[in-house]
Amino acid sequence: MAILRHKNSIRTLVIIAIILSLGLSTFFAYGKGENGQAIPQIVQTQLDIYIKRQIDRYEKENCEPDPDNSSCRGTEYKDARRFCLGDLDGDGREDIAVLYTIESFCCGNNYHFFLAVLLNKGTHFELVASVKVGGKGERGVGFNTIRNGKILLNTKEYLPDDALCCPSSKGRTSYTLKNNWLIESDRVGEKPMSLQERYQRASEQLKPYLEELFKEKMNIQIDLDITGIGRNADAPTSLDRMDFNQLSAFRKEKVQKYAQLNLFPKDYDPLKSPHNRIYGGITPKNPWIGPVLYHLSNPYILIILSRDNDVTPLNLVCSEVKIVRSGNKITESHIGRNALCWFDGVFSSTNSPGVVNVTMVNAWDAGFHYINLAENQCTNINPSPSNNNIGKIAFSQSSFYHLGPHKRNNISPYDPRARITLNQKNKPTRLLFNLWRKLPASLTEKPDLVYEVNVNP
C-alpha cells in the first residue's frame, strides 16, 4: 500500500510538473520587460484586443473610406512593443507599463507612440489607461524605468533643422497614474514643433525637389485686366495716380500670385536693393505709357519679346498664348492664329522686319541676372555675326522705369545686343534662353532656369 501511495505521489508530481510547465509556457508565452521580466500571455492578448479596437474606433471617426483599397488601415508595429514593470498605484504589486506603436492611420505615412498601464489586481491585470506620448513630427520615446510611482521616459525632441525621420535632441519626461488618467510632468528638452508646423516646413524643403522629380506643371496666365494696358500709349492707366508705396504694393501682389513657383525671393520688395535699380527712377503720381504696364503686371513672363525698337510686347497684341512652368523650364507657346499674329507683329517693322528685341527686366528682377540665347538649339534664326550679341554672351540688362520724353513713365534702355533676327515669316520657330542667377563660368554651364518660346502657325 505504501508503494502504491509512493507511485501515486510520483505520478501526481509528474502531472503537476507537466501542467505547470504547459501553464507557464502559455501564461508567459512571449514578451519581456525592459529588465528581462516575463510578461503574461494574457496581458499580450488583452493588448492585442484593445489596440485593434482603438484602431477601429479612430479610423471610423477620422478616416474617409478608400473604395480602391478597402483593406488599407492602421496597424500595430508589434516588434516595437515595450514593457516596464513597477508599482504604479502604491499597493506593493508590480504593475505593467506598455509602449506601443500604431502605423498608417487612415492609410497615411504616419506613426504614433502610445503609453498604456495595466494594474496588477492579484488574480489578473486590468488595463486602466492609455495616452498618446509621441510620434512622427512630435517626438520619439523610450522607457527609462519606473520609480516612486512614476513612469520615466527618455525622449528625442525635434530641433528646427531636424528631418521628420530623425529627432535629435535628447530629453526626458514622466507620467503618473492619477484616477486612472496618465498625467505628464517633469518634461525636460526642446518643445517640439506642432505636427502641422513640421509638415509645413518639410513641404517647403521638398517642394523644389518634387517639382523637378514629378515635373509639376503650372499654367501662368497673362494679366491684362488693368486699365490702360493696351497699345494706346496716351490712354489713362490704373497706375497714373499711384505713389511709391502703392506701386510697390501693386507689384508685390502680382509677384505673390504665383509665389509657389519660388522664382522671386521670399522677402521681395521692389523699393529695396537690388530691385530699386529698376524702380527707383519712377516718377510717382505721373502718367504711364500704356504698353509698359504689361511688364509690371506680368512678373512671371521673364523674357518679353517685342518687334525691334518697340516697347509693345508681342504677347500684349497676340494674347492667346499658353505659358507653362514645368520643372526648371517655362514654355511659351503660340499656335495657329496667334502664331500668325506674332509673325505679323515681328515683320511689320519698317526699318528692321523680322527682328525681335528681348527685354529681361522681369528675369533680372527675379534674380536671374544673366541670359543667353542658345543659338544651336533654336530654329528659324540667323545667328548674329556680333560677338557681343545675346546669342554669344551671358547677356545682362536690368532695364529701368523712368520719366520719358513724353512726360510719361516708360522703360529703357533699348539694347541692340538683345536683337534676334528670324529667317522667314510664318515658319515654325523656337527660341531657347538659358538663365543663370550668377555669372556662369561658360555658356555650357547648367542653367538655373530655361525659358523657351515656340511659335507654330
162-178 pLDDT, tens per residue?
A: 888 888 889 999 999 99
Q: How many CA atoms lie within 13 A of 326 on its CB side?
A: 9
Say if residues 325 and 261 touch (Cβ distance below 8 Å). yes
Asked if 329 and 449 touch (Cβ cutoff 8 Å), the reply is yes
Which residue ranges of the chain lie beneath pLDDT 70? 1-37, 64-71, 189-216, 227-232
What's the confidence (pLDDT) of residue 211? Answer: 52
For 136-259, strand residue ranges (E) read 139-147, 150-157, 169-178, 181-188, 217-219
Structure confidence by residue, pLDDT tens digits, 52-96? 998 888 888 777 666 555 567 789 999 999 999 999 999 999 999
Residue 3 has a pLDDT of 44
Report d(CA 157, CA 167) in Å as an integer.
Answer: 5
pTM (predicted TM-score): 0.55
Cα separations in angstroms, 163 against 201, 367, 399: 9, 29, 42
What's the pLDDT score for residue 22?
A: 37
Going from the C-alpha of 391 to that of each of 128, 358, 374, 377, 434, the distances in angstroms are: 76, 11, 6, 11, 10
Asked if residues 192 and 138 have their Cβ atoms less than 8 Å apart, the reply is yes
**pLDDT for residue 100:** 95
Give the integer Cα–Cα distance in Å for 87 and 100. Answer: 20
Residue 209 neighbours by CB distance under 10 Å: 9
Give the whole-angstrom CA distance, residue 341 versus residue 306.
12
Torsions phi, psi for 9 (to 5 deg): -65, -40
Alpha-carbon gap, residue 243 to 229, rounded angstroms: 18
Q: What ranges make up the beta strands (E) of 148-270?
A: 150-157, 169-178, 181-188, 217-219
Residue 307: how many CA atoms within 13 Å on its side-chain side?
18
Rounded Cα distance between 412 and 398, Å, is 9
Mean pLDDT of the chain: 85
Residue 1: the pLDDT is: 46
Residue 138's pLDDT is 87
